[in-house]
């Protein structure tokens, strides 16, 4: 992303979601229970108790074994502006019961993120269950108030970035992936977030023009069926002339197209009287408007008998005038079969006219594409060069939510644990450090959680990594590299770290994903990545567990 577009984000971020007159990410974008708890903390004098909360998830989405962490910059921006305005407080006076002590509202007026410290895994990093993605420390009532907006900002961003990364893995590195989801997204905010985080997850562009302006994402697109069906015949081509690329001659472009229609009919085998005239008129008009970037949607009537011949006709006429067409889009039918058929005709034309670029024309495919469709198309030997993906990508139809949670792990320097019948729901107590240990070939081996007071694991030294809850699951690891995953981003009321641009985050996600072993990334039955605790933390968890679990009585 350019410095220019980053600057637009800075200037206009506060205008993006103006709804009802105010920026939608704000202190009141929360669940009521955060406010009622804040009141009860305040009422019993606990509001300033030092607290530590971890934000994490328990299960990777899409039956996968990895997640891309996204949304962090928006969390930091939330802290920057975190306060209750006068009108917020007036509103809360109505919402809270009449018995509420009026002094509480004076307290709310003083609330800000100035005493909050936020450390987190860098945005764009591949992350795994149980690892604290964000740790927030500060006055209990204020950190509590942050729970809902932080979860809101991380959950969808990480889900859709992960979805995008999965589409990228399915498609491979060389296919162009475009996000076409705005019309199907969960509202305007969902649409903008989808475009932003799909780009982070590895998409190449979006059709969403506002996302392009605000976030510097390349905007791309073709045209719709309506453009084709709006034309009935060639008489509708009112301005028929086109100047050649080098400016030396102007020709009747419709006549030139009809010359190529006759010529091509025997080369790629079609009947000129079967092509739809209105479609040809539409393509001619689109080419006249975009002579240097002509791309046509060819499935309105019949790809084989009409759309493809009409495209080739116009593309060859453009070529005679020194312009190169860009390609076609398919939006229905058997996308593998049709793409191969289209390619074979392109190859024929390329050979006949000795135009090597003609066989490299883009073949864009769209229509309800999901991750499984791409895998299936791969097996069928498709020749698609670009996928335009909307619904399944932005709505994350395969799994519509990521389950990040925000749990208290320490208060007044005392570690807290949340117990559950379901072992997976027991929290890992206390303030922790998180390390990623790398193996011999530079791939990530294990994430290790330790109490923050423990020494950093050392390269070349054996570390015992234990499953947090199953004593028999443990392994020694001799890391070739050790990375501390958490960075402090916000402290003393300020952003204390460079915030990467969206383009840098996209690069980060790509590089982080490449350090993860392929078996963790495969679609079918991927291997779970190991997230472990140090033996000191293991003992600590289980001692605290025993201390807090009531002893039942048999009778």
Ligand X SMILES: O=C(O)c1cccnc1
Ligand Y SMILES: O=P(O)(O)OC[C@H]1O[C@H](OP(=O)(O)OP(=O)(O)O)[C@H](O)[C@@H]1O
Ligand Z SMILES: Nc1ncnc2c1ncn2[C@@H]1O[C@H](COP(=O)(O)OP(=O)(O)OP(=O)(O)O)[C@@H](O)[C@H]1O
Binding positions for ligand Y, rule: CB under 6 A: 180, 183-184, 331, 366-369, 388-392
Residue whose C-beta lies closest to ligand X: 221
Stretch 307-346 residues interacting with ligand X (CB under 6 A) = 329
SS3 454: coil
SS3 535: helix
Of the residues 188, 190, 333, 526, which one makes contact with ligand Z according to CB under 6 A = 333
Minimum distance, C-beta of residue 333 to ligand Z, in the bound complex (Å): 5
Report if residue 388 touches ligand X, rule: CB under 6 A: yes
In the bound state with ligand Y, the residue whose beta carbon lies nearer, of 122 and 221, is: 221
Minimum distance, C-beta of residue 315 to ligand Z, in the bound complex (Å): 24
Report if residue 300 touches ligand X, rule: CB under 6 A: no
Q: Which tokens go with 21?
A: 């007159």
Picking from 50, 39, 49, 118, the residue whose alpha carbon sits closest to that of residue 78 is 118
- Contact of 51 with 147, CB cutoff 8 Å: no
Task: For residue 6, list its beta bridge partners.
Answer: none
Chosen from ligand Z, ligand X, ligand Y, none, partner binding at 380 (C-beta under 5 to 8 Å by type): ligand Z
Stretch 207-236 residues interacting with ligand X (CB under 6 A) = 207, 221-222
Chosen from ligand Z, ligand Y, ligand X, none, partner binding at 184 (C-beta under 5 to 8 Å by type): ligand Y
Chosen from ligand Y, ligand Z, ligand X, none, partner binding at 376 (C-beta under 5 to 8 Å by type): ligand Z
Minimum distance, C-beta of residue 367 to ligand Z, in the bound complex (Å): 5
């999965």: which residue's tokens?
166
Picking from 73, 27, 71, the residue whose alpha carbon sits closest to that of residue 194 is 71
| Distance in angstroms (rounded) separating the CA atoms of residues 75 and 151 | 9
Residue whose C-beta lies closest to ligand Z: 332
Of the residues 263, 368, 424, 543, which one makes contact with ligand Z according to CB under 6 A = 368
SS3 169: helix
Of the residues 380, 453, 484, 527, which one makes contact with ligand Z according to CB under 6 A = 380
DSSP string for residues in 75-118: HHHHHHT----HHHHHHHHHHS-TTS-THHHHHHHH--STT-EE
The sign of the CA dihedral 293, 294, 297, 303 is negative
Report if residue 190 touches ligand X, rule: CB under 6 A: no
Q: What is the DSSP letter of 456?
A: P
- Contact of 314 with 258, CB cutoff 8 Å: no
DSSP string for residues in 327-357: EEEE-SS-HHHHHHHHHHHHHHHHHHHT-GG
Report if residue 302 touches ligand Z, rule: CB under 6 A: no
In the bound state with ligand Z, the residue whose beta carbon lies nearer, of 115 and 334, is: 334
Stretch 190-219 residues interacting with ligand Z (CB under 6 A) = none
Report if residue 332 touches ligand Z, rule: CB under 6 A: yes
Report if residue 82 touches ligand X, rule: CB under 6 A: no
Q: Which residues bind ligand X (CB under 6 A)?
A: 180, 207, 221-222, 329, 366, 388, 390
Q: Which residues bind ligand Z (CB under 6 A)?
A: 332-336, 367-369, 373, 376-377, 380
């Amino acid at each position: 992303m350019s410095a220019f577009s980053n600057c637009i984000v800075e200037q206009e971020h506060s205008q993006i979601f103006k709804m009802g007159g105010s920026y939608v990410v704000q202190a009141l974008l929360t669940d009521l229970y955060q406010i009622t708890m804040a009141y009860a903390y305040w009422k019993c004098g606990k509001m300033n108790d030092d607290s530590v909360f971890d934000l994490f998830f328990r299960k990777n989405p899409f039956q996968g074994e990895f997640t891309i962490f996204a949304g962090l910059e928006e969390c930091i921006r939330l802290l920057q502006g975190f306060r209750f305005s006068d009108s917020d407080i007036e509103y809360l006076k109505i919402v809270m019961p009449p018995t509420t002590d009026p002094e509480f509202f004076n307290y709310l007026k003083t609330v800000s993120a100035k005493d909050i410290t936020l450390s987190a895994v860098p945005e764009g990093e591949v992350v795994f269950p149980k690892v604290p993605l964000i740790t927030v420390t500060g006055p209990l009532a204020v950190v509590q108030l942050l729970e809902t907006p932080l979860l809101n900002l991380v959950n969808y961003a990480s889900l859709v970035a992960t979805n995008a990364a999965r589409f990228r893995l399915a498609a491979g590195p060389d296919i162009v992936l475009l996000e076409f989801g705005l019309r199907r997204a969960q509202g305007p905010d969902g649409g903008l977030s989808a475009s932003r985080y799909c780009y982070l997850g590895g998409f190449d562009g979006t059709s969403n023009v506002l996302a392009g302006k605000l976030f510097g994402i390349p905007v791309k697109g073709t045209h719709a069926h309506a453009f084709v069906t709006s034309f009935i015949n060639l008489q509708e081509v009112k301005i028929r002339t086109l100047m050649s690329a080098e400016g030396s001659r102007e020709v009747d472009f419709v006549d030139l197209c009809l010359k190529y229609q006759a010529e091509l009919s025997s080369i790629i085998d079609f009947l000129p009287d079967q092509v739809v005239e209105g479609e040809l008129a539409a393509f001619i008009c689109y080419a006249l408007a975009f002579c240097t970037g002509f791309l046509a949607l060819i499935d309105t009537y019949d790809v084989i008998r009409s759309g493809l011949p009409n495209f080739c006709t116009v593309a060859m006429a453009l070529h005679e005038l020194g312009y190169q067409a860009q390609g076609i889009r398919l939006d229905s039918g058997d996308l593998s079969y049709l793409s191969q058929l289209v390619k074979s005709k392109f190859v024929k034309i390329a050979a006949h006219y000795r135009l090597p670029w003609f066989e490299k024309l883009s073949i864009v495919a769209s229509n309800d594409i999901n991750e499984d469709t791409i895998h299936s198309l791969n097996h069928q030997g498709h020749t698609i060069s670009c996928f335009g993906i909307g619904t399944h990508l932005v709505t994350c139809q395969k799994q519509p939510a990521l389950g990040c949670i925000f749990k208290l792990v320490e208060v007044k320097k005392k570690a807290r644990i949340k117990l559950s019948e379901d072992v997976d729901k027991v929290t890992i107590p206390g303030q922790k450090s998180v390390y990623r240990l790398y193996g011999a070939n530079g791939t990530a081996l294990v994430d290790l959680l330790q109490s923050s007071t423990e020494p950093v694991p050392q390269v070349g030294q054996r570390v015992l990594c234990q499953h947090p809850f199953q004593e028999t699951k443990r392994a020694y690891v001799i890391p070739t590299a050790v990375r501390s995953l958490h960075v402090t981003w916000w402290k003393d009321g300020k952003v204390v770290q460079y915030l990467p641009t969206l383009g840098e985050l996209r690069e980060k996600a790509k590089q982080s994903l490449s350090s993860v072993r392929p078996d963790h990334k495969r679609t079918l039955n991927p291997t779970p990545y190991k997230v472990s605790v140090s033996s000191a933390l293991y003992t600590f968890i289980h001692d605290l567990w025993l201390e807090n679990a009531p002893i039942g009585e048999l009778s």
